[in-house]
Amino acid sequence: MGFTVQQIQQAYDVAPDRVLDYLLQEIQAVVHLNALHPTSVNNLHSESTLPNSGSYTVAMISQFSFPNGRSACTCIALQALMTLLPLVATSSDPNPLSTISVEILSEIIMKGIELYGTIESQYIEHTSVEEVCNACAIDTIIPIDATIQSPLSQEVFQTLINYAVTARNKIGAKCVGVVITKPPESICLLLYVKGDGSTEYMILDSHHRPQFGIEGGYFYITTDVNDVVEKLRLLFPPLELDAGASVFEQMYNMLEYSLFTVSGGKVDYV
């Protein structure tokens, strides 16, 4: 996750009832999503287009398919960037994101869980991007900036995307990736500039989302930034807090995002 074990333990000690509140709001978000995009699980297969502006590719596995995968999502998100950013950077295909297969997605999930297995004994549960980068050899990618923490709001995901696009243009990269964390989940987002100057987006999520009609890890590709923002809002809804909420309670409404590019690229944005 995006916060250390000590921070999470302190937050739970201060406000354990907030955990239940958070789960109830997640359920409300699920109901909203199902109303927007009612999809039968029976209609899904390994490569499927759902009723959205973009297309889904859904694997037969998720992080929950493996005994030690439950807390591996940050490692999987980083593994996705280590795999996909070099692939996109060196591809001669005019639409390289469209060449990513369900087999590559499955391999990313399994390799990310293997990566988590190398550090699992050092942490009780989930890990932050900083913890993984400090404990593992994160090759093929480099951070563009320090991890940013921001309160959840209606505007935060558009702000995140604007920041990533600006950074990508500044360093002259074809593609950048963002690990996005809202405790206790991490996913990643890729932003690729196409030949016509438009941006193509890929959300990669190693969690199964049966409540959304998605039974495996998946990625979603679209050119509609509003669609991306809406998907992220539904995945990460804010928790309603009282005006006097403590710092640790407010942690449940914090978002972290870490921006990466392929190793060897020009990184002088900061």
pLDDT tens for 83-127 read 999 999 888 888 899 899 999 999 999 999 999 988 877 766 678
Q: Which CATH architecture has domain 5-262?
A: Alpha-Beta Complex (3.90)
In this predicted model, which residue has the larger pLDDT, 86 or 268?
Answer: 86
Q: Provide the pLDDT for residue 137.
A: 82
The model's confidence at residue 154, banded by pLDDT at 50, 70 and 90, is confident
> What Cα–Cα distance (Å) separates residue 155 from each residue in 135, 150, 161, 226?
33, 11, 10, 11
Question: What is the per-residue pLDDT for 134?
Answer: 87
Angstrom distance (rounded) from CA 203 to CA 232: 9
- Provide the whole-model pTM: 0.78
Q: What is the mean pLDDT of the chain?
A: 80
Task: Say yes or no to pLDDT of 52 above 60.
Answer: yes
- Asked whether the predicted pLDDT for residue 261 surpasses 80, the reply is yes
C-alpha distances in Å from residue 209, one per residue of 108, 109, 111, 174: 18, 15, 20, 30
pLDDT at 40: 31
Residue 72 DSSP code:
-
In this prediction, residue 123 carries a pLDDT of: 65
Peptide bond into 184 cis (omega under 30): yes
CA–CA dist 255, 163 (Å, integer)? 14
pLDDT at 25 over 80: no
